[in-house]
Structure 1
Amino acid sequence: MSDPNLRRSDKPAPPQPLPSPVVDNHTHLDISRDGGAPPDVRAVIDEAVAVGVDRMVQVGCDLAGARFTERVIDAHPELLGGVALHPNEAPKLYAAGELDAAYAEIERIAAHPRVRVVGESGLDYFRTGPDGIAVQQESFRWHIELAKRLGKALQIHDREAHEDVMRILAEQGAPEKTVLHCFSGDVAMARECVERGYYVSVAGVVTFKNARELRAALAQVPLEQLLVETDAPYLTPSPHRGATNAPYLVPLTVRALAEVKNVDVPTLCAALSENSERVYGPW
């Protein structure tokens, strides 16, 4: 549960730095949870580097976010980019008659050499009703093909759509480097992801007391297929649930994951860093 005394405006203290650097492989520096201005990108990066999070993947999941991503990855060497139309964006763009034009702009930005990710794309059956499912699935297939055509990694958003996500990946043929962003599946899904060679990205949810099923699932994933992320400004790890998330809080998730995997933190940090560069290439 969230700390009832903690507000989003309260800034948690920096955690103990990690013994070696890791990557926040999914963050949204263009988004503010309180409706105000987005965070100061340089300040966010500096705070993260100070605790051992020296590289980040900035993900823009609508047209404004994709344009922002294109700008900041050129300005900040610590950042690589990911761009896509979030599954909740696709039905809105389709209804407005703007989906094809949006696809064209995403494809243009995705060709940028420092954009290494097509994503987050996928399926979200939590916020989009039945009328939007067909468009979501068509958009997901389009992004899968874009990632393969450009030779980029694919990051997948999956909310209450596990079966269809896995089915469409199998039907379409997943890119060589496929990442389940903010993994939320069960033990069976984790095992299937491992068998297919997908990467499983772990967010702050792993620290939540009620995430026992998730921790059991992550126990099935070998170190060489694990990544770590914030999904900032969301999913702030315990004990700071309720505050705004940021890349400098990744060490809390890393230490919780080390307990799940029963490995020491230096070993996990080395694996996470190596895996990130295997998926995204050098920064």
Structure 2
Amino acid sequence: MSSPELPDHLRTREPSDRGDQSYPPLPEALVVPVYDNHTHLEIADTSDPIDYREHLDRASAVGVRGVVQVGTDLETSRWSAEQAAREPRMLAAVALHPNEAPEYAAAGGLDAALAEIAELAGWPRVRAVGETGLDFYRTGEEGRAAQYRSFEAHIEIAKENGIALQIHDRDAHAEVIETLKRVGAPERTVFHCFSGDAELARICTENGWYMSFAGNVTFKNAHNLREALETAPRALLLVETDAPYLTPMPYRGRPNAPYLIPHTLRAMAAHLGTDVSMLAAQISSNTELVYGRWEDEPVQAS
């Protein structure tokens, strides 16, 4: 399905040759609804992309009542803020991804880009700065100074606007923690797509930082994530897709979407030995504490 309201910059990845690349079927609906607090609806990971509104319709049908649409550069941050302003099921997060910051710096445009992110952070229904942080997996030593400068600026933008911070942390746990403590973390700080172990979960708990688990917590080899899940207090748990990536089992390898959250939530509940609806109620409450209620600000007319 296509639509003139899909972004002109729709980012299409070449479908993998690893079997079926269609969207999985809808799961059984949740009794108690939750939110997907981190998704990228502007990215198509299939040869048959669907409109972002259909993604939201599918999510609503299975008990996912809203999403936080996340920007990773100026273009996607603008789109996220614009769509959230007129879509009641969407809030927005705006930022420069840590792997984008060195690119802006090399072009001499990092300061200007950060200034625009600061402006977007004040828009209606923009409730987070993210995803920002440090990524030492894809960016080498030559790009780290730009990553640090960008991360620290994003922290300040979140605090100035009184909104949440969504952190991207890859191969940089110690450095992310040091930066948050040195600069001063915002009141509501979220480790998006939590990738640490029980020790990082303990540090997050000590500091009141939220831990958001994605579909990879369902992967067979993700023992460290499940140990972290056991360690984290229920009051600091969130759930996300990071769609179109990290599709939960049993559909790993196929495109992810917000409507697949029930698979991840049910796997989390099973591992914790708790009732799915009780966990959903806790996570839904946590999500609203971090981002506010989706209906707190009216949407604009389309």
Shift of 1:27: 0.3
Shift of 1:138: 1.2
Structure 1 length-normalised TM: 0.96
Shift of 1:37: 8.3
Counterparts of 2:39 and 2:210, CA distance in 1: 17
Q: Secondary structure at the match of 2:284?
A: helix
Contact 2:80/2:93 (8 A) holds in 1: yes
Match in the other structure for 2:97 = 86
- Spell out the pairing of 1:32-111 with structure 2 (5 A cutoff): 32-34=44-46, 39-111=50-122
Match in the other structure for 2:297 = none
1:20 aligns with 2:40: no
Contact 1:30/1:39 (8 A) holds in 2: no
Counterparts of 1:219 and 1:184, CA distance in 2: 14
- Spell out the pairing of 1:54-203 with structure 2 (5 A cutoff): 54-203=65-214
Select the structure with the greater relative contact order (CA < 8 A; seq sep ≥ 6).
1
Match in the other structure for 2:252 = 241
Q: Secondary structure at the match of 1:75?
A: coil
Gaps of 5+ in 1: none
Counterparts of 1:262 and 1:137, CA distance in 2: 40
What fraction of aligned residue pairs are identical, expressed as a percent?
55
Q: Secondary structure at the match of 1:242?
A: coil
Cα gap change, 1:37/1:133 in structure 2, threshold over 3 Å: closer, same or farther? farther
Q: What's the Cα RMSD here?
A: 1.4
Q: Secondary structure at the match of 2:44?
A: coil
Counterparts of 1:52 and 1:149, CA distance in 2: 33
Structure 1 runs of 4+ off > 3 angstroms? 3-6, 36-39
Counterparts of 1:50 and 1:59, CA distance in 2: 22
Structure 2 length-normalised TM: 0.90
Cα gap change, 1:39/1:98 in structure 2, threshold over 3 Å: closer, same or farther? farther
Counterparts of 2:228 and 2:282, CA distance in 1: 18
Counterparts of 1:154 and 1:173, CA distance in 2: 12
Contact 2:205/2:236 (8 A) holds in 1: yes
Gaps of 5+ in 2: 1-15, 295-302
Counterparts of 1:122 and 1:7, CA distance in 2: 33
Q: Deviations over 1:81-112 (max 9, x none)?
A: 00000000100000000111111111111101
Contact 2:81/2:93 (8 A) holds in 1: no
Amino acid at match of 2:110: L
Counterparts of 1:68 and 1:7, CA distance in 2: 29
Counterparts of 2:284 and 2:140, CA distance in 1: 38
